[in-house]
Each structure stands twice: as structure tokens, then as C-alpha cells.
Chain A
Amino acid sequence: MVVTYLNLIIQGVLLGGLYAIFALGLSLSVGVMRFVNIAHGDFIVLVSFLLLTIATALHINVLLALVLMIPVAFGGGWLLQRVLLQRVIGPNVLLPLLVTFGLSIIVQNGLLQGFGADTRTLSAGSLDTASLHIGGFYVGLLPVLTFALAVALVVGFDWLLYRSRIGASIRAVADDVAAADLIGLSSVRVYAIAMGIVGVTVAIAACFMGLRMNFDATSGPSRLLVAFEVVVLGGLGSLRGTLLGGIILGIAQTIGGQIDGAWQVLAGHLVFLVIFLLRPQGLLPRY
């Protein structure tokens, strides 16, 4: 019994790493551009389909396809910000919400049109089934690598935002657009770079989501809800918080799924709502 639950908690923590990766991009776009990208989950699913297509067409490993995808994803995010989102961000939060909502529906139905409604999954060869034997527990190598990557990304982003020059520009624009423009920082350029970085996190999230779980053209919204709950649970703008939020949600879903398969998603939502009501500022608020 205890062993079973310990095992579930380990699985949940590892799943939480993936959820933290889902949330990183959302956290960044919320923190810098002050808007919630409703299409975040759909972009993740879109890139999963692209990775699947590239890997199949070029006969290469999905992880190699991801390496090829990263500059494309950066460019995609950059372009989206420059061409579309830049026109609607501002004091009125309604417009970016509605535009990304429209994008979400376009992406979902575009994927349905292009790839059909079948459920897909990505494969990285022998990595899919490799497992480690640690202290009496068998854990998949892939979940462990995903979790390690999540920690590395959180540390890396922390460095990027708080130690690097571009991070200083991003924070300056996030704090006060007008003042940043006044001292010669181009907010348009900084926003585009930030959205490019979001694109990179989306590509990484897409790859490891596809390796870990099934996805289809309409999986986007459920990924968005997970990412959103992780960001709010962790505390807005807090990178370490996303890791903690992801772990809590991962454990809640894994234990819920053990009780009854149908309870997996609901258990995650309910734990989110309870913690949110008790601590609306999040677990590790930055401010």
C-alpha cells in the first residue's frame, strides 16, 4: 500500500516536470506581455504534429527533429508577435484574448483538416521503454530525463531573465513599456524576442508531450488548462513556482487516476481549485 502510493508520488513528480515545461512559455508571455495566450496548448499540439511529420519524412529521430525545430519555433513566435499580436497588446486585455482565442480554434480545426481526428504519439526509439531501477522502484528513463530537463530549463530561464542582458531588457519592458521605450529599448523588438523564446519552450514541450502521452488535433485546450493551473498555483511570474505547481498537479492527477481512470483530470482541477481558494497569490509568489 505505502509502496504503491510512494510509487504513484514518484510518477506524479516526474509528470509534474512535463507540466512545468508546458507552463514555462505561458508564464513568460503572461509575465512579460501581460496576456494569456489561449492558443498556448494548441501551439504545443501543432508543433507535436510538425515534429511527427518531420521525423517521418526525413527518417530521423524525434529528438533530432526537435533540434531542427527549435530555430523554426523561435522564428514562428517572433513572427506571430510582430505580425499579429503586437497590433492588439495594450491596456485593453480583451483584444489579445479574443485574437488568441480565434487562433486556438483555427489551429485546432486546421489540424483536424490536415491530420484527421486520429490519436497520435511520438517515438524516440529505444528511449520510449528504457527504465531505471532506483532503490526498489522502476522508473522510466524518459520521465526522469523530462524532469531533469524541466529543472534545467527553470534554472536556465532564471539565469536568462535575471542575469543576462536580454533578460534585463525583457524585465524593463515588462515593468514599464513607456519608460523602456524612452531609454531606447525597443519594446516591439523585446516583445518579439520574448515570444520567440516562448516558441522554443513550446517546441520542447511539444516533443516531450508527444513522447509521454497521446495527442490529437483537439488536445490543445486541456494542455492550456494544465499550463494555466501550474502558472497560477506556482505564483504569477515565479519560475521555481511553476516547477512546484507542476509537481502538485502531476501528483494529484496520478493519484486521482489510480482511484478511477475517469477521475484523473477532475482530481487535478479540484486540487487546483482548493489550493487556489486557500492561496490565491500562489505557492511561491515572486512579488
Chain B
Amino acid sequence: MPRHQRLSIAVGRIVLVGAAAILAGAPFFLGAGDLTVLTEFLCLLVLAWMWNLLAGYADIVTVGQHAFVGVGAYTFYGTVVLLGVDPYLAFAAAALMALVIALPAMMIVFRLRAAYLAVGTWVVAEVLMLIAGKLPNFGFGSGVSLPVRVAREFGARPDERFATIYWLAFALAAATFASTYFLLRSRIGLGLTAMRDNEEAAGAMGINLVRARVICFLWTAPFLGLAGAIITLQKLRISPPASFSIIDWTVFVIFNVVIGGIGSLEGPILGTALFFILREYLAQLGTWHLIILGTLSIVIILIEPRGLWGLLRRVLGGDLIPVSHGARPGFGITRKS
């Protein structure tokens, strides 16, 4: 590898680590408004990494991931308000419930082949949203607000509260990143990469494709549920259209990953960051916002299916976050021969 590429990768990694360090310390120097936006950013980043794990590695295109966000939100409300459980335990319940719901959902959608699976997940999500609208203790179709006493448990004053919620979102994003990284570096991730590159050859090598895909599908559910719980804590309200919002938790997420770059850990970061920057300028355009994002995603698929990160990677010459056990010498955690 040429020297300037090694240098640019090193610079890229320093930027990445620097950004993470700034995010880790954000509550010390940012106000409540900025923290709220960053909390939202981290939650959307978690959703993007999870959608990318499925679509970019496990060959599962889901259009129903908002279902697990909603399940997490409703479970959090149910355990903390209706059962009166400690809020921190309620997070665990949200993660667990998402996993429990993912089991039957998986049994349904995995009977469908790739192209159909996408719409199958959408049907399942629709069913869960409609059922959520029929729950009597959860305010039926119009939803219900979180009592103030629950919010107070995360800090007596508003700024303390915003900082606590931010830390929770940061911890979730860090845990999602680290665990997904290790999953992709493990034998399972290696198998998934092999499957992505050549399904028949991977199967012939004895890789259990079904098992790897099942693990990935179940893997994402608790993280999505936790994101749903944190989002609920921030918005202080649950309702079927908002908690199970396909636009917020699936459509934007898909655009972010597709534009940023599918099949890499850097792509979702790039896409989600770009989304927040664009939103500053495009949000007031209303419907044009989504039209522009949709057009951008189609144009990017036609130019480079691996997204902006795929383009950038050609310039840099390598990954900043090496998930593949590349045979290329010179960078990454590869053992040099």
C-alpha cells in the first residue's frame, strides 16, 4: 500500500476516535438543545447499524424494523408505568421483549425468500402496530404520555435529565458498535461475508447460512428495543403512529445506510451524520425533504451500490474499521505473513 494511503487511513482513524471522544464528553460542554439532537443522532445511528447488519451482511432486507422500536417503547412504558418497575430494569425488559417478539416474527419471515421477506417484515410490523393501538392500558390508538415522576428518576432538573438520557444513548451506541464489530469479526461474521460474496461457495465450504442469518436477525432485536425505550424517554410519549413510525425508524434509516454505504460499519456513521446535516437545511422543505433523499439514494445505488463510503474508500484505499479479515497486507488486524 502506498505511503499516502496509509497516512490518510491513519488520519481517518484519528478523526473517528476524536469524534467518539467528543461525543463521550458532550454533556460537559453542550446545552440541552444540542444534547437532544445528539441523543437522536445516536439512536438513529444504532438503528442504521442494525439495519446494515441485516441488509449489508446477512442478506435480510427488512422494511419492518420500526416494529421492534415500537415494541421496546411500549414495553418500557408498560413495565415502568403500569408495573411500577425500576426504570433501569425496564430497559432490560424492553430489550428482552423485543427479542421475545423477534422469535415468532423470524419464524414467519424466514419462510419467505429474499425478495418477499422485505414485504413480509412490513406485514409483521403493521400487525404489531395495529395490536398496539388496541391495548386499553396504553391509550389505544392515540397513545399516552409518560408521567413526570418517571422522567424525574433520570434527574431532578431538566439539564441533568437530558445529560442522563444522552449518556444512555451513548452507552447503547457504544455497546452496539463494539458487539457488532466482534460479531462481524467472529466466525459468524466471516461466514456472512463469505455468503455475501458467493452464497453457493460459502455453503459448499460448510458454512451454516441459516444459523448465521437467524443469529443476526435475533441479534438486532434487543438493540432496536433499547433504542425504542430511550426514544420514549426523550419524547415522553408513546403512540402507535409515533412509536411504530415507519418514516422515522425505517425509511430514514434505510436512506441513511444506502447513501452512507451499505455493508460497512463506517457507511452508517457517514450516512446518519449527513442526514442530520441535510436535515438542518431540508426539514423546512417538508415533502421535498423525502423526495430529495429518495432521489439521492437511487442515484447513489446506480453510481456505487456501496454508497458514499464505497467511493471514499477507493480514495483512502482501505477500511477505517476493519471488519474483514483481509488478505491485503499492511493494515488492519491481519496477521502479516
In the complex, which residues of chain B have a beta carbon less than 8 angstroms from the beta carbon of A229? 123
Interchain CA distance A103-B287 in the complex, whole Å = 14
Residue of chain B at shortest CB distance from A227: B119
Q: Assuming A94-B55, A98-B297, is B118 touching A38 (CB within 8 A)?
A: yes
Q: Assuming A88-B301, A97-B115, is B123 touching A269 (CB within 8 A)?
A: yes
Q: Does A277 touch B at the CB level, under 8 Å?
A: yes
Which residues of B (119-147) have their CB < 8 Å from a CB of A? 119-120, 122-124, 126-127, 130-131, 133-134, 141
Q: Which of A45-53, A106-114, A150-158, A186-194 participates in binding chain B?
A: A106-114
Q: Does B21 touch A at the CB level, under 8 Å?
A: no
Place the interface of chain B in its size category: 35 or more
A112 x B134 contact (CB < 8 A):
no
Interchain CA distance A132-B279 in the complex, whole Å = 55
CB distance from A13 to the nearest CB of B (A): 22
B61 x A113 contact (CB < 8 A):
no
In the complex, which residues of chain B have a beta carbon less than 8 angstroms from the beta carbon of A38? 63, 118-119
Q: Does A82 touch B at the CB level, under 8 Å?
A: no
Residue of chain B at shortest CB distance from A87: B302
The answer, among B108, B114, B130, B254, for a CB contact under 8 Å with A101, is: B254
Q: Which of A28-36, A55-63, A123-131, A134-142 participates in binding chain B?
A: A28-36
A98 x B295 contact (CB < 8 A):
no
Q: Does B116 touch A at the CB level, under 8 Å?
A: yes
Place the interface of chain A in its size category: 35 or more
Q: Does A99 touch B at the CB level, under 8 Å?
A: yes
B119 x A224 contact (CB < 8 A):
yes
Q: Does A273 touch B at the CB level, under 8 Å?
A: yes
In the complex, which residues of chain B have a beta carbon less than 8 angstroms from the beta carbon of A88? 301-302
The answer, among B61, B119, B251, B302, for a CB contact under 8 Å with A105, is: B251
In the complex, which residues of chain A have a beta carbon less than 8 angstroms from the beta carbon of B131? 266
Q: Does B294 touch A at the CB level, under 8 Å?
A: yes
The answer, among A93, A103, A272, A276, for a CB contact under 8 Å with B294, is: A103
| Given A94-B55, A105-B255, A262-B134: 5 more A-B contacts, CB < 8 Å | A98-B297, A98-B301, A99-B298, A269-B126, A273-B108
Chain A interface residues toward B at CB < 8 A: 30, 34-36, 38, 84, 87-88, 92-99, 101-103, 105-106, 108-110, 112-113, 221, 224-225, 228-229, 232, 262, 265-266, 269-270, 272-273, 276-277, 280
A-B CB contact pairs (8 Å), 26 listed = A38-B119, A84-B298, A92-B305, A93-B115, A94-B305, A97-B61, A97-B115, A97-B118, A98-B254, A98-B258, A99-B298, A101-B254, A102-B298, A103-B294, A105-B255, A108-B290, A109-B294, A113-B286, A113-B287, A113-B288, A225-B119, A228-B116, A262-B141, A269-B130, A270-B127, A276-B111
Q: Which 6 A-B pairs have the closest CB atoms?
A: A109-B287, A106-B294, A105-B294, A102-B294, A102-B298, A266-B130
